[in-house]
Amino acid sequence: MAISDSELIAAWTEVLKLSRLKPTETVTILTSQDSHPQTLSCARTAAQLAGAKVICLDLPPMNGEKSLSRDKTAYVGTTPLTNNQAAMAALKSSDMVIDLMLLLFSPEQQEILESGTRILLAVEPPEVLVRLLPTEADKTRVMAAADLLKRSRSMQVTSAAGTDFRCALGDYPLLTEYGFSDEPGRWDHWPSGFLATWPNEVTSEGTLVLDRGDILLPMKRYLADPVRLTVEKGYVTEISGSLDAELLRDYMTAFNDPEAYAISHIGWGLQPRARWSTLGLFDREATLGMDARAFEGNFLFSLGPNTEAGGTRNTACHIDIPMRNCTVSLDNKPVVEKGRVLDSLEAA
């Protein structure tokens, strides 16, 4: 169901308020050919109503001829900002960038953040943005979990389906997503609501069993049958199962890049307003699948790049996999038990 302009402008006004936008600041709205026109017009109006100086920077799309999907995360790493010094200068001199294009996993995004510019990504349909409007309570919950994760030195994940995965922690920073960007140099994503980090290199070991109903992104596919991933020294070394496993193997093989098989970010969903089932209600080209990434109690892990954490693994293949009904433990103490978040431990 469509959202009116007034509703979306009100939502943007709230998010920009949460992002501490000041009338003296400059906002650059970054777009490309497939950016949502209503999101653009309402973001621009809300930023202008807040008194900010607004610049719109539209760049041509790229990688369409290489990608196997129209999904914005299906081919990452290179963007229209690659070797584009003029555009980079404009973004680095802005106080805030509203990203309606998707710079994620690019070295240019990291360079912009290091300049002190804060970035807010928003590429979901307007109705999803409004339904998952962030709150200060979302930040409080994510940051409470982050305090616990920051102190932890190992993660273990198990499930009745057969998952038995473990890794060491501490070498990489945390990724906190609560839906607004309120500090200099901060990146966030509206909508969201989850927490993640990256395993220490070569320490990820074990088995990840993707069960029926778990989700492959960017395929936006609920698994019909289990898929077993064998993990050794930080990389998936075997993908076994039936049709879903064959589809995953074929997709990953197309990138011809061994780094695509590396375990990337790992964490869990903390957004109670996000729904596991929503992906089945949208056309696959209409949504990025943030409900799937953020729904409360998932175990979300990814394969591929680590440039988001300041690493050098700049592979074009990025796959997010939200899993249900897992027990996630930090230093052998559960924080998610069979898909249920244990908030009392996060606050400890």
Report residue 348's pLDDT band, with 50, 70 and 90 as the boundaries: very low
pLDDT at position 347: 45
* Residue 59's pLDDT band (cuts 50, 70, 90): very high
The answer on pLDDT for 311 being more than 90 is: no
Q: How far is CA 31 from CA 61, 100, 193, 194, 281, in A?
A: 9, 5, 24, 25, 26
Portion of the chain with pLDDT greater than 70, in percent: 99
Give residue-wise pLDDT tens across range 239-260: 999 999 999 999 999 999 999 9
Average pLDDT over residues 258-270: 97
For the segment 30-42, the average pLDDT, to the nearest whole number, is 96
Q: Specify the amino acid at residue 255.
A: F
Looking at per-residue confidence, does 65 or 115 come out higher?
115
Would you say residue 34 has pLDDT above 80?
Answer: yes
Q: Is the pLDDT of residue 346 over 60?
A: no
Give the position of tokens 């070295």: 107
**Predicted confidence (pLDDT) per residue in 104-160, tens digit:** 888 899 999 999 999 999 999 999 999 999 999 999 999 999 999 999 999 999 999
DSSP states of 176-190 as a string? EE-S---STT-EEES
Check whether 345 has a pLDDT greater than 60.
no
| Cβ pair 39, 289 in contact under 8 A | no
pTM (2 decimals)?
Answer: 0.94
How far, in Å, CA of 247 to CA of 224, rounded? 12
pLDDT digits (tens, 9 = 90+) for 205-245: 999 999 999 999 999 999 999 999 999 999 999 999 999 99
Averaged pLDDT of the chain = 94
pLDDT band for 64, please (50, 70, 90 cuts). Answer: confident
| pLDDT tens-digit map of 289-308 | 999 999 999 999 999 999 88
Query: Which of 10-24, 66-80, 82-96, 164-178 is predicted least confidently?
Result: 66-80
Specify the pLDDT at position 234: 97
**From start to end of the chain, where are the E strands?**
26-31, 53-58, 96-99, 118-121, 154-159, 164-168, 175-177, 187-189, 194-197, 205-210, 215-216, 221-222, 227-232, 235-241, 263-269, 299-303, 319-323, 326-330, 333-337, 340-341
**Structural domains of the chain, ranges and CATH numbers in brackets:** 5-131 (3.40.50.2300), 136-346 (no CATH)
